[in-house]
Amino acid sequence: MIHAETDASLPLAVDGIDKRYRGGVHANRNITLSAQRGEMLGILGPNGAGKTTLVRQITTELLPTSGSIRVFGVDVAADPVSAKNLMGIVPQEAQLFEMLTVRETLRIFGKMRGLPSADARRRADELISDLRLNEHGDVTTVKLSGGLKRRVMVGIAAIARPGLVVLDEPTTGLDPQSRRDMWGLMREYKSRGATILMTTHYMEEAEALCDRVGIISEGRLLALDTVDNLKSSQGFDFKITYSANGDGASTRTMYGKDDRELVERARAEGIRQFSLTRTTLEDVYLALTDTDTPNT
Ligand SMILES: Nc1ncnc2c1ncn2[C@@H]1O[C@H](COP(=O)(O)OP(=O)(O)OP(=O)(O)O)[C@@H](O)[C@H]1O
Ligand SMILES: [Mg+2]
């Protein structure tokens, strides 16, 4: 049995966070979550749900209106400098010194994070290779494509091997091969004991990578669990899709926990032709974030 870590050693503990922006937007509402060592958490949610707001409070860029956040026991609001030193951060938008080359960028961030010069050099070269940036090592960052900039940002975050890595949509805009490379890299960090929190809009990514997935909508954390538990807690292990009037024009869906019971239900309703499949994370996500259904 794995014992839960004490609060002080938890890589991340978010407790009752509320964030109201000055303009009045209530972007986070009473969000509580924590991450264990070596755990990868995925945060999903529609545009404007409050994912970046949450991330920016964890990374000390924004102050919560109320609630607290601790990173390895350090309160991020009380001691942002120490907290930041424990984290690697990949913001949603790339922020690079345009006139520096990729190699220079990584070396400088390495030194800023306290690595001795020789280590910073070695680490920069290692990351250039890991991130498949070999052809671009001596190119100034202003000349890089969006996807390549994103890879450099991941390199900066990983430079000092932080215990907690926080990434806001790290794979948005990456080509499929680069996305897989990024997955490989994150799995490697994780296997070395790093804790990872990432936001993403890609269901298959969350499903493939994350130990637990949180779903945020309108500032609230609606659910946080393993993908399997999310499916079954919604009564959603299986689904049947069928054509409502037999012409294939209007497809309807029925969900259920048990495949046989679901098939019986469909037959009882007189549905002759249907397809039975396992539900995906996307099904759960769409059901939870459907704001047309009244929310209590
Ligand atoms: N600096 C700001 N000042 C005021 N309101 C803001 C600010 N930043 C974000 N918001 C608002 O807060 C809400 C949450 O925004 P946030 O950027 O956290 O969403 P998100 O989930 O990251 O969305 P996306 O998927 O598009 O990145 C939105 O209504 C947004 O307009
Ligand atoms: Mg965002």
CATH at residue 223 = 3.40.50.300
Q: What predicted TM-score, i.e. pTM, was given to this entire model? A: 0.89
Which tops the pLDDT comparison, 248 or 165?
165
- Domain match, 87 and 225 both: yes
Which residue has a Cα nearest atom 17 of ligand 1? 52
- Assess whether 65 and 14 both reside in one domain: yes
Mean pLDDT in the chain? 91
Residues 224 and 244 in one domain: no
Residue 257 domain flag: yes
**Position in ligand 1 atom list of the atom nearest CA 56:** 18
Handedness of CA 196, 197, 202, 207 (dihedral sign): positive
Structure-model confidence comparison of residues 35 and 1, the more confident one: 35
- Does residue 295 form part of some domain? no
Q: How far is CA 252 from CA 85, 146, 242, 265, in A?
A: 51, 39, 5, 14
- Would you report the helix, strand and coil content of the chain in percent, each value rounded to 5? 35, 25, 35
Q: Ligand 1 pocket by C-beta < 6 Å: which residues?
A: 21, 23, 25, 27, 45, 47-53, 92
> pLDDT value at position 143?
96
Same domain, 77 and 118: yes
Residue 55: how many CB atoms within 10 A of its CB? 23
- Judged by its nearest atom, the ligand closest to the C-alpha of residue 46 is 1
Q: Where among 229, 261, 286 does a domain terminate?
A: 229
Mutate to test the pocket of ligand 1, among 51, 56, 93 (most ligand atoms within 8 A of CB): 51
Residue 93 lies inside a defined structural domain of this protein: yes
Question: What is the Å distance from ligand 1's center to 145 Cα?
Answer: 25
Find the ligand nearest to 49 CA. Answer: 1
Q: Mean pLDDT across the stretch 30-36? A: 97
- Which pLDDT does position 243 carry in this prediction? 87
pLDDT value of residue 4: 53
147, 255: one domain: no
The domain total for the chain is 2
**Among all chains, which residue has been given the structure tokens 């913001």?**
91
Structural domain range at position 101: 7-229
25 in a structural domain: yes
Same domain, 28 and 143: yes
pLDDT at position 12: 98
248 vs 282, which has greater pLDDT? Answer: 282
The residues that bridge with 221 in the sheet, in sequence order, are: 216
What is the structure's pLDDT at 5? 56
Q: Is residue 95 situated within a structural domain?
A: yes
Query: In a mutational test of the pocket of ligand 1, which residue from 17, 29, 53 has the highest number of ligand atoms less than 8 Å from its CB?
Result: 53
Q: Is residue 68 part of a domain?
A: yes
Query: Quick check: is 289 in a domain?
Result: no
Q: Is 106 inside a domain boundary? A: yes
- Residues 190 and 252 placed together within one structural domain of the fold: no
| pLDDT at 289 exceeding the cut of 80 | yes
Asked whether the predicted pLDDT for residue 147 surpasses 90, the reply is: no
Q: Which atom of ligand 1 is nearest to the CA of 53?
A: 18
